[in-house]
Structure 1
């Protein structure tokens, strides 16, 4: 249980199950661990989820970032794939939380460059 608690700081439940299975750990029935068994242990011991831990650290949702930047969430996800944000996967479904943006953060420089480039190509800033 303490190993799961420690791993939840850095890994999704799928990643935790994989790591613990590689170490030879199994369920009480002798079955390999899976994300649901990790979630069951997490809830049983009232451990904060990966999502809750990241939110407590100040991480933002795609919706919050989109509102800050004035773009839609689809654009935030696309820019995340392009490497504009420092994002942390918080679920097995490719859900991410983002490090907060400040006006002087390096990511803002990248975004400003990208938006300026898009202005020249399309004549306007991208919104979605």
Structure 2
């Protein structure tokens, strides 16, 4: 924005020159098409005039071809006349006035959301003569504008994609800490509450947390609980000599202490130690099973 002001007149003139050059190129192409169409129409006319009138089938075919060439020539001529009038309006005094006004309102044009990227690139092509890049520890950029003015600046090298996609160490540390007490989904929820995002600036999900956990080899919630000695439903069922369904039911009722490690209420159970199971009774005076500390009898659970 700062550099365009002294070069505003040159930019406006360059815009006009480019438009005029493109109009001339389009006009030249249209004239070549017209010339080719006239030649083909004349060739078709000669074929028709030279045919034997007695051979009506060939004469009809050549006449139809001649008429088709004439129609195509007429369509091209009409299109050429229409575009020529449009080009004259484009390079008229009113159009030139609008083009020169662009240099005074360049900032608004450049920042307009309706201007597409390809148009901004064309604007840069009109502003800048050439750019030289010198790569060292940083990248030096030397820009030469049309009209001779130059400027230089330095930027950092682009980071490798492996570093761009790398999760911030602070976020990895938070995930590792949260996994001590939370599932992947709970970790994602907590990260979003803290304002953390992934490398694409997207909110965390359970799947994204699992990906980070796998990439950085963080123990999962399940592995952490197992390392503390927690048991699966099958292991605890075998210890108590009951079914897994009974173990899960007791867990939901709060008779067994459990820790959730995944979705669908997947859980592990805290070990009971040296306890004896006293089964409950049904009927009117139903009682819940209880666990008492003591040595197991030779007959197993009571």
TM-score range, shorter chain: 0.7 to 0.9
Aligned to 2:280: 116
Where does structure 1 differ by over 6 angstroms across 4 or more consecutive aligned residues? Answer: 119-122
Aligned to 1:66: 237
- 2-side partners of 1:99 and 1:118: how far apart? 26
Which one of 260, 266, 286 corresponds to residue 89 of structure 1?
260
Q: Is the radius of gyration larger for structure 1 or structure 2? A: 2
- 2-side partners of 1:65 and 1:120: how far apart? 29
Do structure 1's residue 101 and structure 2's residue 272 form an aligned pair? yes
> Taking CA–CA contacts closer than 8 Å with sequence separation of 6 or more, which of the two structures ends up with the larger relative contact order?
1
**Gap regions ≥5 residues in structure 2:** 1-171, 290-302
- 1-side partners of 2:195 and 2:236: how far apart? 40
Paired residue secondary structure (1:117): coil
| Deviation at residue 84 of structure 1 after TM alignment | 0.6
Do structure 1's residue 35 and structure 2's residue 206 form an aligned pair? yes
Which one of 193, 196, 208 corresponds to residue 25 of structure 1?
196
1:71-118, Cα deviation, whole Å (9 max, x unpaired): 1111111110110111000112211111111234xxx6xx52xx2324
1:4-50, Cα deviation, whole Å (9 max, x unpaired): 00111100000000001011111211211000100000010011100
- 1-side partners of 2:199 and 2:282: how far apart? 56
Q: 1:120 to 1:67 in 2, by over 3 A?
A: farther
**Gap regions ≥5 residues in structure 1:** none
- 1-side partners of 2:284 and 2:272: how far apart? 25
Q: TM-score normalised to the size of structure 2?
A: 0.36
Do structure 1's residue 16 and structure 2's residue 16 form an aligned pair? no
| Deviation at residue 119 of structure 1 after TM alignment | 8.5
Higher strand share: 2
- 2-side partners of 1:118 and 1:45: how far apart? 51
Paired residue secondary structure (2:259): strand
Equivalent pairs, count: 116
Paired residue secondary structure (1:97): strand
